[in-house]
Amino acid sequence: MSTGSQVNVASLPIDQLQALREQLQEEDRFLTNSYSQLKIAQNKFVDSREALKVITPENIDKDILVPMTSSLYVKGSLAKTDTVLVDIGTGYYVEKTPEEADDYLKRKISYLGDNCEKLESNISEKRKNIEAVTMVLQARIRAMNEQAQPGAKSS
Amino acid sequence: MMESAGSQGMRLGMRVMIEQGDEGNRSERREEMAVQQRLEVEAKAYQSLQQEHAKMGQTYSKLLAQQNENNMVLDELKLIDGGAVYKLVGPVLLSQDPEEAKSNVEKRLQYIGDEMKRTQNHVIDLEKKMEEKRNKLQQLQAQLKQGQSK
């Protein structure tokens, strides 16, 4: 796509160039937004892995504070460490051992990491395109201004 | 880009009206007005098509996201061996047979796939209609320009 647009960019009229640049910028915004959302999702899985580390047989029956909301905690004790419930999406939960759950989280983290990388290269590609279009646009406007000045004198 | 085609046409039409008013050629002016009116109608129709096209695009990406999520769930369900499966229904978790859960997700994927195909066909249909309208708009604009140069 990049080479294709590169070829015809020079032949586009100014208003279309502007529209193209706006479209590219819009796409860039969208991708950047997706990227930060992916990062947030990935961090959630990283946090879950961290939390999973304390679900060990050594910690059984130990006192814990269970968060009811972000600011309200209730006293409890760790009753069971051999399985955890994992939310796998669309309302399904699966009972897994902590090891399996860790595998699941690792898988998710690397999956999101791969996607982040792909998005990153997409974003830098988009930015390059925007830069190219901007340069052509500026050159075009400059040329138009130079053309318009002698034209105004003659008429 | 194409939105500007409609407003451009209207701007053009207005200029035509002003010039015609000076000349005072009534029948020609009436004709111009008719063309301009048609142009406005077509531009509006084109805009509503554009809106629907954007809406369908949104629907499609929503479906795509759902498909992705369900595919991931299905992959996870295939990976479990022996672990119990629960489905969140309202605030409670209901125990569910893993096989049943799998077939439910597969069914949903099937439905989402069908819905995506339907949406895509609709999008293609809309694009065809937009292309037609675009041609019509250009035609009308050319007509106006011709009348102006007369």
Residue A6 located in a structural domain: no
Average pLDDT over residues B2-31: 57
Residues A68 and A55: their CA atoms lie apart, in Å, by: 19
A104 is a domain residue: yes
Q: Tell me the CATH number at A91.
A: 1.10.287.370
pLDDT of B3 strictly over 80: no
Confidence at residue B17, expressed as pLDDT on a 0 to 100 scale: 53
Q: Provide the 10 A C-beta neighbour count for residue B84.
A: 16
Compare CB distances from B69 to A83, A89, A96 and report the shortest one's residue: A89
Q: Is residue A60 part of a domain?
A: no
For residue A82, the 8-state DSSP code is S
A96 touches chain B (CB under 8 A): yes
Residue A64 forms part of a structural domain: no
- What average pLDDT does range B57-71 have in this prediction? 96
Cross-chain Cβ contact B73/A15 below 8 Å = no
Residue contact A93–B86, C-beta within 8 A:
yes
Lowest mean per-residue pLDDT among A108-122, B52-66, B68-82: B68-82
Residue contact A96–B83, C-beta within 8 A: yes
Residues A20 and A140 sit within 8 Å (Cβ to Cβ): no
How many domains does chain A contain in total?
1
Q: In the predicted model, is pLDDT for residue A122 greater than 90?
A: yes
Q: Is pLDDT of A150 > 70?
A: no
The predicted pLDDT at position A155 comes to 44
Which residue from B73, B83, B93 is facing A89, i.e. has the nearest CB? Answer: B73
**What number is the average pLDDT over the span A29-48?**
96
Domain of residue B111: give its range.
5-148
What pLDDT score does B81 carry? 77
Range of the domain at A132: 13-55+82-143
The proportion of chain A whose per-residue pLDDT surpasses 70, expressed as a percent, equals 91
Counting the structural domains of chain B, the total is 1
Contact B88 A19 (CB under 8 A): no
Q: Are A113 and A89 in contact (CB under 8 A)?
A: no
The torsion angles phi and psi of A67, rounded to 5 degrees, stand at -75, 120
Residues of A in contact with B85 (CB under 8 A): 92-95
pTM of the complete model: 0.72
Cβ of A83 within 8 Å of Cβ of B83? The answer is: yes
How confident is the model at residue A32, as a pLDDT?
Answer: 97
**Is B69 exposed, middle or buried, given 0-12, 13-18 or 19+ CB atoms closer than 10 A?**
middle
B69: contact with A, CB 8 A cutoff: yes
Answer yes or no: is pLDDT of A130 > 80.
yes
What was the ipTM of the complex prediction?
0.71
Q: Name every chain B residue with its beta carbon within 8 A of the beta carbon of A88.
A: 72-73, 76-77
**Quick check: B86 and A94 CB within 8 A?**
yes
Read off the CATH number of the domain in which B31 is found: 1.10.287.370
